[in-house]
Copies of this chain bind each other. A is one copy, B any other.
């Protein structure tokens, strides 16, 4: 089955198999070496001087760690949302007793730095801004993130970034842009299985944690930091996944981070061109299209569920549908992580064949 969804992504054979290595003691020297090496590797991919921690949880667990360690109950925060995952950030804030003010955007569009600047200038009670870098649900990237981060720093607020489906595939200049807390997830560009979340923490964020009154234990970053100094994690970590990470990082550095970015840019362009040439419309507005996932509008007269079913059953290719309010309205094509030109090409062929089978006229232009 050809997985063309925006995560979980296919794994290189050797990464998958690394998960089957012999088990080790999480309190012993082999583990200390492993966690030191993977932490350094993840930090190199992050390109940051900040500390980076690895949590045994999915990306949402990383988002919860970002919230629970930095947003106190009763605190007002600005959540810049351009889709389902931005809304999820707000839901987590609410679950933890914070008060999210939503800066919402139409699906497929991205945020504007001036708006963020204006809100922060007019509302000093907002101490924290949360934002999704790459919105997996719409295939749009917040390309203004550097300028938004500049505004946040100008107003001396804290910035928490969900970079789950961008970091490692799309450039994120953590230190250059001044991002305080940045979350990523293992099943996206990292070429490994789901189950690990990564989170970088700036000096300002560590200070905030000391005053943060939200409850946290499993996701307490201060505990994780202290354990890491001793070559450990506070709780027994998902060791098979750390084995996969270890191997995946080697492959990433062999290819080179810049080459990985370039590959993602190229394959994203190829996907967009292919989708358009099939006569389909992209959900993302021009200039904010994501380089990791492409969302296309389902043409009139065709059911999204039929596209997913036929692609799967007749072409062995798995696409993703729309989430929440976008259910039935879009189909998403993932092109991140361990993905090649051939993968994208065969994904486009599967899409073309599917649309033809469903009688979509525009599909004649394909292949």
Contacts and interface: CB of A to CB of B under 8 A. Distances in A.
A27 B323 CA distance: 11
A194 B195 CA distance: 11
Nearest to A312: B28
A239 interface: yes
The prevalent SS among residues of A at the interface is loop
Given A8-B239, A61-B235, A20 B19 contact: yes
A313 to B, nearest CB: 10
Contact of A26 (B19, B24, B194, B240): B194
Contact of A56 (B5, B20, B195): B195
A60 B25 CA distance: 17
A366 to B, nearest CB: 24
Nearest to A217: B95
A195 B238 contact: yes
B23 A239 contact: no
A318 interface: yes
Contacts of A187: 23, 236, 239
A8 B24 contact: yes
Interface in A184-229: 185, 187, 193-195, 214-220
Interface stretch (A9-17, A105-113, A120-128, A152-160): A9-17
A116 interface: no
Q: Number of contact residues on A: which range applies?
A: 35 or more
A237 interface: yes
Interface string A84-117: 0000000110011100000000000000000000
A96 B217 contact: yes
Identical copies of this chain, number? 2
A361 interface: no
A207 to B, nearest CB: 20
A346 interface: no
Nearest to A18: B20
A26 B7 CA distance: 9
Nearest to A31: B8
Give the one of A1, A19, A220 with max B CB within 10 A. A19
A248 to B, nearest CB: 12
A240 B15 CA distance: 11
A244 interface: yes
A140 interface: no
Contact of A8 (B5, B19, B26, B68): B26
Nearest to A30: B1
A80 to B, nearest CB: 19
Given A19-B240, A56-B57, A60-B234, 19 more contacts: A1-B22, A1-B24, A5-B25, A5-B27, A8-B236, A10-B22, A10-B23, A19-B20, A25-B318, A26-B194, A60-B235, A185-B236, A187-B236, A193-B239, A194-B237, A194-B238, A195-B240, A214-B215, A241-B241
Pairs of residues from A and B, 3 with the lowest C-beta to C-beta distance, nearest first: A195-B238, A19-B19, A16-B20
